[in-house]
Structure 1
Amino acid sequence: MKNKFDILIIDDEKVVIDSIIKIASLANYSVDFSFDANEALTKLKQNEYDLIICDIMLPEKDGFQLLETIQNFNIETPVIMTTGYSTIDNAVKSLYLGAIDFIPKPFSIDEMQSLLARGLKYKSFLQQKRNTFSDGLVVSCPSRYFRLGVSCWANLNNDGTVLIGATNFFIKSIEPVNKIELLKNDDVLIQASPCAKLFSTEYVHNLNSSLSGRIIEVNKILIEKPEIIEKDPYFEGWLYRIIPQELEFEKQKLIPCGSDR
């Protein structure tokens, strides 16, 4: 019989593992850990986990290779990538390869608690979908849209501007949304970097932008009525209109939402 754990931590630094274990214990999550990818794969065959926290820099096989193996083996456990070598490239690659989020080291208690809550909620979505045979639990973004990872979408307009917003998955994983903090006109977004803060009952959640660009319009109604983003995340609930930078290059790391169908 397989052992059941909430979280599997994969990191070659014991201090990091101990830190995440302490944070997870605040919410009474059960935790297992591995110091390298091969040991982690063995444990994934022997046990059941609801969430994986994986470092990129691992001995022998790195976190990206492990993430690709998890995808190839059709292991549905969601993965959050982390690293002390935080770069935009690492964040983008993590999300493109299938991680549901990325967090640089060092991280705060609040940041990790927020990620753990969202990651475990995502696993519950997958289980509900399997048990009810329903695709309506989390609504996919419109087929003409693109997304970076599973959290932020982009809609390319004919006039060269791009609308940016949060996916239904991201919103569902943090509901209710009690408050939204947005940037201002002329601020610059960086792909895979935080672009907005969404406040739920317990946590503050950072949304990473799908593209880089200069903000030319902010959906200020969301500040007064944050509930709109829950009701209509893909149309009235958009966050920013931007003039994109390096669109053709960055678009290569976006996933067409039409492929979700």
Structure 2
Amino acid sequence: MSKILLIEDEAAIRRVLSRIIADENSSYYVEEAEDGIKGLEKVKEKDFDLILCDIKMPKMDGVEVLQSIKAMKPEVPVIMISGHGDLDTAVQTMRLGAYDYISKPPDLNRLLTTVRNALDQKQLIVENKQLKKKVSKKYEMIGESEPILQIINMIDKVAPTDARVLITGPNGTGKELVAHRLHNLSQRSNAPMIEVNCAAIPSELIESELFGHVKGSFTGANKDRSGKFEAAHGGTIFLDEIGDMSLSAQAKVLRALQENKISRVGSDKDIKVNVRVLAATNKDLRKEIEEGRFREDLYHRLAVILIHVPSLNDRRDDIPVLIKHFARLIAKEQGVALKTFSDDAIARLQGYNWTGNIRELRNVIERLLILGGHEIDESDVTLFASK
């Protein structure tokens, strides 16, 4: 049910508008307040999905009420109701964050359409927050070992800045989790984070993928296309496995970092971009530089901050908490019963050589949950997780 608050000092208008809105949809519940002060009291006490507020009222006018609502609950849409002489003020309220304004006497179709649209927008905001929370949970960093606590501490210091970060570490250690935490805690968190797996894109297509192309620039380029840097404008671009990027693409990335502009393949027109660049690799870039496969100048541009993610073998103390985390996550995803792990099972898993790191551990936990007994013991680990 959508809860709507109507703040209006004229009783006749209040009753009519309340009835019209409630009759429009059985899921609309309308509460009334005869002035701004009582309206604000209701806003403090309850959560509303939408507020309609008159501008000219005794005790406190609508502009003051709007400002107070936005200070308390900025996500709630507010529709202002204005008399013909209040239009300039109504426009002012839009600048102060009002969703829209309706003139008196109201056009009923416009009123109801505006109410529906405002409630739809509120629902989208709620869903977006829930999705962000879900995504944030997906990329949560789990661990209590000293190496992980040091990484989390560094991320928390670096994230609010625009400093470029190079994340290193073996495959499967969770370098992408570091990148997501950096973005989620940054000033750019409301803008997109665009991920590019440089190893998964053929070398002949990587430049088009990153910078876009113009129609006819190569076979198959049937129309103009923007690239990942443009898509990340205002946000973050995460260049995963950057050690596999071609030298020609490296040169263009270097220019983007130096000049904050790119050009599409086949075009000489510059496009300004404002992105924060995060990069990750499982390779030793110093060795790649010595062997001529990676540009040293690009390395120094990327490695303003270096974060190394250790292998699972170097943080075995985190294995028990990771087991519990993955067990809860996988049980929910797969719709299977959540099972406990005996101490000997956990000890056995701690003793393995985890060449595949966190990714391998997650796969093993999933296998044990599906195939193991009610409680996972050492025999289950021997049978289903043998290496």
Normalising TM by the smaller chain, what interval?
0.3 to 0.5
Q: Which has the higher helix share?
A: 2
Of structures 1 and 2, the one scoring higher in RCO (CA 8 A, sep 6+) is 1
TM-score normalised to structure 2 length? 0.33
Q: Which is higher, the Rg of structure 1 or of structure 2?
A: 2
TM-score normalised to structure 1 length? 0.48
